[in-house]
A = this chain, B = another copy of it.
Amino acid sequence: MTSINYYPNEPTKPIVKTSNVPGPESQKQLEQLDKVFDARAAYFVADYEKSDGNYIFDVDGNAYLDLYAQIASIALGYNNPALIKAAQSPEMIRALVDRPAPGNFPSADMAKILAKILQFAPKGQDHVWSGLSGADANELAFKAAFMYYRARERGYETEFSAEENVSVMENAAPGAPDLAVLSFKKAFHGRLFASGSTTVSKPIHKLDFPAFDWPHAEYPTYRYPLEKYEEENHKEDDRCLEIVEQLIKTWKSPVAALIIEPIQSEGGDNHASKYFLQKLRDITLKYNVVYIIDEVQTGVGATGKNWCHEYADIQPPVDLVTFSKKMQSAGYFFHDPKFIPNKPYRQFNTWCGEPARMIIAGAIVQEIIDHDLTSQVNRVGDYLFKKLEALQTQYPAKFQNLRGKNRGTFIAWDLPTPTERDTLLKKLRLHGCNVGGCSTNSVRLRPTLTFDEKHVDIFIDALSKCVTEL
C-alpha cells in the first residue's frame, strides 16, 4: 500500500506567491506570446523546468498541485526520471534527427518500439496503427472502418470496379461512398472535419466548419448515486439503445461505424454502463457496424484499469480502440487482421505516427506495469471519492451528481451554475490547485497516476475552503 516515490523534491504543499493568476510575470510573457500565438485561453505561463511530479510551476514562482495535467494528458507527473531517461536514449536521438517514413523505410528499432506499446493493448486487441493526436487517431480509425465495411460488401480480395476508380476522383459514389459514422450527443472525438462531424460537445468547437451529415444518438444521462437509481438508469440505457438502433435502421446513409467514449469527458463526464456498452456490441454485430471505443481521455490507467472500457468486458471485443493524450503517442488498437486493408498504400502517410512519442509511450506503459500504478490509482481514487462524499453530505448543492466511484481518480461533479463552477476553479488556483472543468458546470479531476493520499489531503483542504467561499 505504498506509493511510488519518483519525486523526492516535489513541494510538500502548493506555493502561491501572487494575488492573481496569471501573476505579473505570466501576464508580461503572455502579452509577448500573444504576438506569435493565440494565448487568449492561457491560464498562466508554465515553468516546466521547475515543475516536479504533481506540481506545475509558473513563471511567477507559484506551484500548483495539478489535477488537470495538461488536459488529462500527463500520465506520470512532471520531469519523470524514467521519461527523462527515455528522452536521452540513443533510440530517441535517432527518432528525432532521422525521422523515418516507416511505410517505406522502417527503422530497425520499430518492432521493439511497437512491442512495448502492444504489451499495453486493451484486452482482446493485439495490433496497433499509429497516429499523431486524438483527432488523427479517430480519423485513421474511421478510414479503417470504412475500408473494412466496404471490403465486407464487395469481398476483401475483390478488385475495385472501373466505376469506383473513376467516381472516387470526383469525390462521388460509389468510389467515395456516402457512409456515416454514428456518434452521441455531447461527444468529443476531435476537431478535424470527420472527427468534428462526430463531435457534439459545444457549438464553439464546430461553428463555421462544413460537416458530414452524420447522426448523433443520445448518450444515457444517469441519476446519481448509481446504486440508488439502478432501475431508472437501466430504463435510460434502453431508451438510448432504442434510439441507436432506430438511427442505424433509418439514417439517410448506411452507418458504417459507431464511436463512443466509455465516459464522455469534454461533454461532462457522462458515464456509460457495462450493460449499455455490451448492448452496443450486440447492435453493431446485428447491423454490421464497426464498433469503435474512443479512449483518448479515459485510457491509460486513470480510471483504475488500463482502459476504461475493460470494466464492461465487452464480448466479443470491440473492433477498434483509439488512444492519445496520456499515451503521448496516438492511434488505434485492433485484432481482426481484415482491418489491415487489402492493399498497401491505403492506410498510409509519410510519417505513420511519431517515433519520438512512441518511445515515450513505451516508457510510460512500462512504468505503469512495473509499479502497478493502476492499483495505486484505485486506492487513491477510493480515498478521494470518500472525502468528496463527505463534502457532498456537508454541501449537497455544490456537489451534485458526484460520479466516478470505482473509477480511480476519474471523478467529476456539478455545480449549480456555470458561474459558480468557474468561480470555484478560479478560487482553487488561488489556493494552489489547478483543476479543470468540463461541459458547462462540471468539475473534472484528472490528476496523474502518481497522485496519492497526501495530494488528496491537500486538495480536499483547499476545496473545503473554496466551497465555503462560494
**Which residues of A does B touch, CB under 8 Å?**
29-30, 32-33, 36-49, 51, 56, 59, 68, 70-71, 73-74, 78-80, 83-84, 86-88, 90, 92-94, 96-111, 114-115, 118, 127-129, 132-136, 139, 142-143, 146-147, 149-151, 160, 164-165, 168-172, 175-180, 185, 190-194, 197, 200, 203-214, 216, 324-325, 328, 340-341, 343-351, 354, 356-357, 360
Contacts and interface: CB of A to CB of B under 8 A. Distances in A.
A39 B347 CA distance: 11
A43 B104 contact: yes
9 contacts: A41-B345, A42-B104, A45-B107, A68-B104, A83-B97, A88-B93, A168-B206, A170-B216, A204-B346
Considering residues A37, A197, A360, which has the most beta carbons from chain B within 10 angstroms of its beta carbon? A37
Given A70-B100, A168-B206, A194 B191 contact: no
B71 A104 contact: yes
B128 A36 contact: yes
Contacts of A164: 203, 207
A167 to B, nearest CB: 9
B45 A106 contact: yes
Given A38-B340, A134-B350, A135-B349, A107 B207 contact: no
A321 to B, nearest CB: 16
Nearest to A38: B340
A204 B33 contact: no
A193 B192 contact: yes
Contact of A210 (B133, B177, B328): B177
B194 A38 contact: no
Contacts of A135: 349
A70 B107 contact: no
A179 B205 CA distance: 17
Contacts of A178: 210
Nearest to A169: B200
A211 B171 CA distance: 5
Contacts of A328: 99
A296 to B, nearest CB: 9
A111 B100 CA distance: 28
B41 A344 contact: yes
A37 B169 contact: no
B46 A107 contact: yes
A74 B347 CA distance: 22
Contacts of A115: 36
Given A160-B207, A354-B357, 18 more contacts: A30-B106, A33-B111, A41-B344, A42-B102, A42-B104, A42-B105, A43-B105, A47-B107, A70-B105, A73-B351, A78-B98, A96-B356, A132-B354, A134-B350, A165-B203, A169-B206, A191-B348, A194-B194
A88 to B, nearest CB: 7
Return the 3 tightest CB-CB contacts between A and B, nearest first: A193-B194, A171-B211, A40-B344
Contact of A209 (B37, B146, B204): B146
A415 to B, nearest CB: 20
Contact of A105 (B49, B56, B109, B348): B56
A93 B103 contact: no
Contacts of A51: 98
A149 B208 CA distance: 9
A46 B106 contact: yes
A90 B37 contact: no
Given A168-B207, A176-B210, A216-B170, A37 B106 contact: yes
Contacts of A107: 45-48
Contacts of A171: 197, 206, 211-214, 216
Given A97-B83, A108-B46, A128-B36, A350 B160 contact: no
Contacts of A133: 132, 136, 349-351
A353 to B, nearest CB: 10
A71 B354 contact: no
Contact of A38 (B33, B46, B103, B134): B103
A348 B42 CA distance: 12
